[in-house]
């Protein structure tokens, strides 16, 4: 008995489709069918510096040089790897090497890149990046001002200090502890690892206290300035 040609063609088509599906399933299972490297299929990497815990709830900006006010928090997103130091006597035609921030390169101006003549010590603990900020946040609590500093690199939090300037003054005043700069402000909080020291820029006494804590995993320093030390309500924060 002969099989009609139409039925034969249908049977062959079913076999072809079934075989193709089986081959695709086998290839997919072995990973050979996916285009591109396996890296494209990995889950997103976690970044503790951008994750929020405790009182901090606002989403990060993720745009360098930008600021925002979100969920009761002021945020500033800093530029990454821009911590080559101040330009005190750097020649106009010399720039810091992106590969080594302690090396000046280029006989003529280089496009982009950090520049400055303050350099890091050679110790690995500084990693040529220890003072590089990722983000600064400020938030008012019921009895204190909370400030969070997020660093790009943190191998030893005792190696870096930051000065937070609160309030205002008629003219710039020198910042304490050899910061080698001035700013308009009433009070300075110098944060050094898990320590915070308050200085009245005018030299007045009775300055009060502040506290700081360090999260090594998130590379963050969390500061609290109680209102009895400095009450910002109704005042202006000049800088931090």
Distance CA 206, CA 77 (A): 34
Q: What's residue 88's pLDDT? A: 62
Residue 7 located in a structural domain: no
Residue 178 located in a structural domain: yes
Task: Please determine, for residue 18, whether its predicted confidence score (pLDDT) is greater than 70.
Answer: no
Name the residue range of residue 152's domain.
133-226
Tens digit of each residue's pLDDT (9 = 90 or more) over 135-160: 999 999 999 999 999 999 999 999 99
Radius of gyration of the chain (CA): 28
Residue 92 located in a structural domain: no
Cβ neighbours of residue 208 closer than 8 Å, sequence gap 6 or more: 198, 226, 228, 229, 230
CATH number at residue 139: 2.60.40.1190
- Total domains present in the chain: 1
Q: What's residue 129's pLDDT? A: 92
Residue 220 located in a structural domain: yes
Q: Please tell me which residue, 144 or 4, carries the higher pLDDT value.
A: 144
Contact yes or no for 192/158 (Cβ under 8 A): yes
Please give the model's pTM, rounded to 2 decimal places. 0.72
Residue 65 located in a structural domain: no
Position 63 confidence tier, pLDDT thresholds 50, 70, 90:
very high
Residue 44 located in a structural domain: no
Distance CA 180, CA 178 (A): 5
Residue 217 located in a structural domain: yes
Look at residues 123, 130, 125 and name the one whose alpha carbon lies nearest to residue 153: 130
């Amino acid at each position: 008995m002969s099989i009609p040609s139409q039925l034969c063609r249908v049977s062959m088509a079913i076999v072809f489709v079934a075989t193709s599906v089986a081959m695709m399933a086998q290839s997919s299972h072995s990973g050979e069918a996916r285009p591109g490297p396996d890296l494209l299929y990995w889950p997103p990497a976690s970044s503790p510096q951008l994750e929020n815990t405790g009182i901090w709830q606002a989403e990060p900006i993720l745009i360098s040089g930008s600021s925002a006010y979100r969920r009761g928090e002021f945020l500033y997103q800093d530029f990454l790897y821009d911590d080559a130091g101040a330009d005190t006597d750097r020649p106009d035609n010399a720039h810091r090497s992106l590969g080594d921030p302690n090396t000046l390169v280029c006989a003529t101006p280089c496009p982009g890149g950090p520049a400055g003549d303050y350099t890091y010590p050679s110790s690995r603990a500084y990693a040529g990046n220890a003072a590089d900020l990722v983000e600064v946040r400020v938030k008012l609590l019921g009895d204190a001002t909370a400030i969070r500093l997020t660093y790009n690199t943190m191998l030893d939090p005792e190696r870096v200090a930051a000065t937070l300037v609160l309030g205002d003054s008629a003219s710039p005043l020198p910042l304490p502890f050899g910061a080698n700069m001035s700013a308009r402000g009433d009070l300075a909080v110098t944060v050094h690892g898990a320590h915070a020291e308050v200085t009245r820029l005018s030299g007045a006494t009775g300055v009060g206290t502040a506290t700081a804590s360090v999260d090594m995993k998130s590379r963050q320093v969390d500061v609290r300035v109680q209102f009895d030390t400095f009450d910002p309500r109704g005042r202006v924060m000049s800088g931090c």
